[in-house]
Structure 1
Amino acid sequence: MKRRQAILGITLLGAGSVAFSGFKWISWYKKPDLVYIHSQKKLLAALAETIIPATDTPGAIDAGVPNFILKMVLENTLKVSQNRFIEGLKAVDPYSISRFGKSYIKCSRKEQNEVMRHFEKDGKPFEGIPGKVERKLIGNSFFTTLKEYTCVGYYTSMTGATQGLAYVFTPGHYTGCIPLFAGQKSWAIR
């Protein structure tokens, strides 16, 4: 008699976990909440500035990266990745409030970096084939999308290419091996 109850319990537990994961998977294919992402432009700017801060070169905000991220997420991202990005964006402030007692925008630079490290670790995909399957089925994580669009937006902008990188307006001939100097910027054009 106890054997039947154990088998029934295991079956119900397995079916429940499959149903829950199936529900979560289906929820990522719902229509994205695009109105919410428009209202979070300041948060996007703060997140982008955490990834590429202003130092002796302009930061992500100076290069117009928040508008680029918004445009890319709205127009060029798959629905699954849009939903994961929006869910991650919705999770930033609650995590920041639970960890530091204030919203992400009001946190210090050190606290913002700690929040970003949490989301980087949380969104790290599996290694190898399971990671490829994960990205194919449920899209890129919030942090992966944020970091990719921040870097692409910054380094393809005029500000990032001319002031963040060593920019040569008209490149000369190809020199395969040139010495680099200490503190030299990377080249914008190769």
Structure 2
Amino acid sequence: MDRRSAIKAVTAVAGVIASFSLFKSLYNNRLMGGGHVVELSDFQTLIGDIAETIIPKTDSPGANDAGVANCVVKLIGDCESREAQQSFINWLKRVERDSEKKYGQSFSSCNYPQRVTILIRYEHNDEQNSLFRKIRLRVLGMDGMELMKKYTIISYCTSMEGATQALAYDYVPGVYQPCLAMGAGQKCWATN
């Protein structure tokens, strides 16, 4: 390869990267600019219903019993960028649209199997360790379903109900034991 073609290739790659950065900046400005600002708290009921679909009530408390919706709204509102929050809100709107389109009713009005069917659409199991997933996470960040699962699990496992009733909880931990044998049917430990 001669110097001229190397310079052209480097310039082309730099141009593509600069164009993508400009596009992303303009897109984010369009998301943030003007109009009515939608707050996450407007979707608290939907977030609670999605969380209850992810962690339903069985012999242990469900996500709604643990008050997960309040915590998810607080965590996403405080810990995620404005762009990620807007992307999450757009995902919630898509879930509602999909529910209306497929079943003719809101997500909250659907029964459990219908809710599961709607949410399975947003799973990315086929790309768990793929290069495409790594690029998507790097460029676009986590999608709505990944954020929802992440913060639902954090909220549930750190709640009083989740830690004490769904997980094994030791109120006064003793000495550190790095490896413990677990009995048949024993719950995971809430504290490490």
Confirm or deny a common fold (TM above 0.5).
Answer: yes
1:56 CA displacement: 1.0
In structure 1, what is the Cα distance between the partners aligned to 2:102 and 2:126? 18
Counterparts in 2 of 1:44 and 1:124: CA distance versus 1, 3 Å: farther
| Aligned amino acid, residue 27 of structure 2 | S
TM-score calculated relative to the size of structure 1? 0.78
SS in 2 for 1:120: coil
SS in 2 for 1:148: helix
Matches within 5 A, 1:10-89: 26-29=26-29, 30-31=31-32, 35-89=38-92
TM-score calculated relative to the size of structure 2? 0.77
In structure 2, what is the Cα distance between the partners aligned to 1:100 and 1:36? 26
1:26 CA displacement: 3.7
| Structure 2 unmatched ranges of 5 or more | 1-18
Partner of 1:175: 177
- Decide whether the 8 Å contact of 1:63 with 1:157 is kept in 2: yes
Partner of 2:98: 95
Q: Structure 1 residue 156 and structure 2 residue 154: aligned?
A: no
1:82 CA displacement: 1.3
SS in 2 for 1:35: coil
| Aligned amino acid, residue 157 of structure 1 | S
1:184 CA displacement: 1.2
In structure 2, what is the Cα distance between the partners aligned to 1:152 and 1:124? 23
- Decide whether the 8 Å contact of 1:28 with 1:138 is kept in 2: no
In structure 2, what is the Cα distance between the partners aligned to 1:173 and 1:122? 39
| Higher deviation after alignment, 163-172 or 142-151 | 163-172
In structure 2, what is the Cα distance between the partners aligned to 1:65 and 1:45? 7
In structure 2, what is the Cα distance between the partners aligned to 1:135 and 1:177? 34
| Structure 1 unmatched ranges of 5 or more | 1-18
Counterparts in 2 of 1:80 and 1:35: CA distance versus 1, 3 Å: closer
Counterparts in 2 of 1:83 and 1:171: CA distance versus 1, 3 Å: same
In structure 2, what is the Cα distance between the partners aligned to 1:100 and 1:124? 28
- Decide whether the 8 Å contact of 1:28 with 1:83 is kept in 2: no
1:122 CA displacement: 9.5
In structure 1, what is the Cα distance between the partners aligned to 2:147 and 2:127? 11
| Aligned amino acid, residue 109 of structure 2 | K
Counterparts in 2 of 1:98 and 1:185: CA distance versus 1, 3 Å: same
Tell me which of 88, 105, 108 is aligned to 1:105: 108
| Aligned amino acid, residue 54 of structure 1 | K
